[in-house]
Structure 1
């Protein structure tokens, strides 16, 4: 099918092949880095379709540069990196890749829960540095997981998957969200106000999208409502947490620890966070499995090809453009 497409960064197969087979001219950024806004604007000019990533800033200026483009297919569940309103105004379809990373992110959430409570990264560092003095009754004591209360903020697919795993650890479940979750209710979870969840949970796990309402949802006040023995886990979006307030809470012992996979100003961290031994810090690995990234690539490619072929993309986030 005639047309030009652009892929903003190297991605795994099969997305590139799907796109290549659908266009006459496929261009891509061959460097494993995020393009600047100016570079991105120049690259998308004259394109019929663009496959982009969550790290790309697709603002109104980039979309204006791509005027006439049919679709920006975002290879991510979230799409807060795209100015969807501007895209709709310009008649550009925007899609995402929902559902595909649920299990991988739930697994990683549990890696953070267990890792921060049982001080796994600290223990690994001790061994590698040759500092292990031998077993001792007071050496590197951590927190218990089994039987402790897990609080889930944002009762979506990932929260449900995390809750299913928690049953094996006999954890009482609390959740907070705008609406009841039949799936979480069926697992025995109890829906409570946010302040009650923060006060009663031993582990607080975040699973909300980023919006004006959820930005800094976990601030100094929220951290102050948590138990001093509690842990904060974030595999959602970095700006949901006021990172400076979190550093203060970790250093003062206001909470026991935090397990983070996302950050407020990625790839940078708030000053002092790296110095907190009670923080387990991962570099945004939630969907980083071979199978999950391949599935994301496939879905993004299928969305893009559908738009080029005049079919409604399966994962359209601005349906008003189609109608």
Structure 2
């Protein structure tokens, strides 16, 4: 076993003791960053990140931007492992060019996010927030809700989380419409209909987004897309802020052109200019919101912690992490 000289910095909260022990048993010195109250690693400047990561060979990261400038300033950093599955904040070209490895915790949070999405669908349909708000004001009259049972649900994106959502919806006997650019959707079995995005939006009672954020998918749900949805439909975004034009969504909800929305991600997470839009959405009674917390169950975080840590150990031991976890590997490029 290597001696404990391999400094691994964790810039995430809720990093469990069992995963720390795993890293230590594999020769790593674990440093968990003391983040300012109310801030995540995505709020830290490059100078602050450089100071935290000085001497580190491994970094378990949350939402910080992994830029070429940062990597250049940290020549000893060999592996960047995200406790999560999105990697749009990682400059993968720079990772390859500089001979580093970037990984995600593939498979660690699928179940947690899928459960969260189903919870949002149920809460919106049965009007949990509106009912409790009325009860707190003294009004115990019953609001009429709607079932998820046998509804038409549109799933946009059929990666691991989209598949997990589909699996759960089968228990509700839902009709599943799928729109996905993936080429392997045919292996998902019966009970799904693959349609265009326009048809999915037009027919669905619930639309749930599970696509990555790319230049092609940014604001894929904009004003015209929202106008195609039923006024009785609900939109769920537990994927990435930026898939939905939040300002257009706010106008649609205010105008009664949509029944409600479940939001775990917001444009304002990456663009502070949208913060007033986020605040206005949160104030609406037919919006159920969480602060990018869909993956943050105890069990889900433990799983993603462990996957992220295993990727770090694999790279430091000169092994290749599971292929589903690797988003950029520049070792062969640099050695060649």
Query: How far apart, in 2, do the equivalents of 1:131 and 1:158 lie?
Result: 38
> 1:291/1:103 Cα in 2 relative to 1: closer, same or farther (>3 Å)?
same
> 1:180/1:89 Cα in 2 relative to 1: closer, same or farther (>3 Å)?
closer
Q: Which of 43, 46, 50 is the equivalent residue of 1:41?
A: 50
Query: Following superposition of structure 1 onto structure 2, how do residues 151-230 of structure 1 map, counting pairs within 5 Å?
Result: 151-178=154-181, 179=183, 181-184=185-188, 186-230=189-233
Q: TM-score scaled to structure 1, two decimals?
A: 0.91
Shift of 1:153: 0.6
Look up the SS of the partner of 1:270 in the other structure.
Answer: helix
> 1:24/1:290 Cα in 2 relative to 1: closer, same or farther (>3 Å)?
closer
Q: Which moved more, 1:166-175 or 1:245-254?
A: 166-175
8 Å CA contact 2:99–2:329 kept in 1: the answer is no
8 Å CA contact 2:101–2:330 kept in 1: the answer is no
In structure 2, the residue matched to 1:20 is: 24
In structure 2, the residue matched to 1:60 is: 68
Q: Which moved more, 1:293-302 or 1:40-49?
A: 40-49
Q: Which of 268, 271, 280 is the equivalent residue of 1:265?
A: 268
Look up the SS of the partner of 1:158 in the other structure.
Answer: helix
CA displacement, residues 37-67 of structure 1 (integer Å, 9 cap, x when unaligned)? 22012222332111111x2122222212212
Query: How far apart, in 1, do the equivalents of 2:279 and 2:11 lie?
Result: 30
**Following superposition, which runs of at least 4 residues in structure 1 exceed 4 angstroms of deviation?**
none
In structure 2, the residue matched to 1:312 is: 320
Look up the SS of the partner of 1:61 in the other structure.
Answer: helix
Look up the SS of the partner of 1:155 in the other structure.
Answer: coil
Look up the SS of the partner of 1:111 in the other structure.
Answer: helix
Shift of 1:249: 0.5
Query: Following superposition of structure 1 onto structure 2, how do residues 234-273 of structure 1 map, counting pairs within 5 Å?
Result: 234-266=237-269, 268=275, 270-273=278-281
8 Å CA contact 1:262–1:284 kept in 2: the answer is yes
Shift of 1:271: 4.4
Q: Which moved more, 1:154-163 or 1:203-212?
A: 154-163
Look up the SS of the partner of 1:174 in the other structure.
Answer: strand
> 1:81/1:12 Cα in 2 relative to 1: closer, same or farther (>3 Å)?
farther
8 Å CA contact 1:9–1:30 kept in 2: the answer is no
The alignment covers a number of residue pairs equal to 316
Query: Following superposition of structure 1 onto structure 2, how do residues 274-293 of structure 1 map, counting pairs within 5 Å?
Result: 274-293=282-301
Shift of 1:190: 0.5
Shift of 1:224: 0.7
Q: Which of 309, 315, 319 is the equivalent residue of 1:301?
A: 309
> 1:180/1:226 Cα in 2 relative to 1: closer, same or farther (>3 Å)?
farther
Query: How far apart, in 1, do the equivalents of 2:12 and 2:200 lie?
Result: 40
CA displacement, residues 224-257 of structure 1 (integer Å, 9 cap, x when unaligned)? 1111111101111111111111001100011111
Gaps of 5+ in 1: none
Q: CA RMSD in A?
A: 2.0
Q: Which moved more, 1:253-262 or 1:173-182?
A: 173-182
Q: TM-score scaled to structure 2, two decimals?
A: 0.88
8 Å CA contact 1:244–1:271 kept in 2: the answer is no
Look up the SS of the partner of 1:265 in the other structure.
Answer: helix
In structure 2, the residue matched to 1:50 is: 59
Shift of 1:175: 0.6
Query: How far apart, in 1, do the equivalents of 2:28 and 2:225 lie?
Result: 53
Query: How far apart, in 2, do the equivalents of 1:180 and 1:101 lie?
Result: 21
Query: How far apart, in 2, do the equivalents of 1:18 and 1:82 lie?
Result: 25
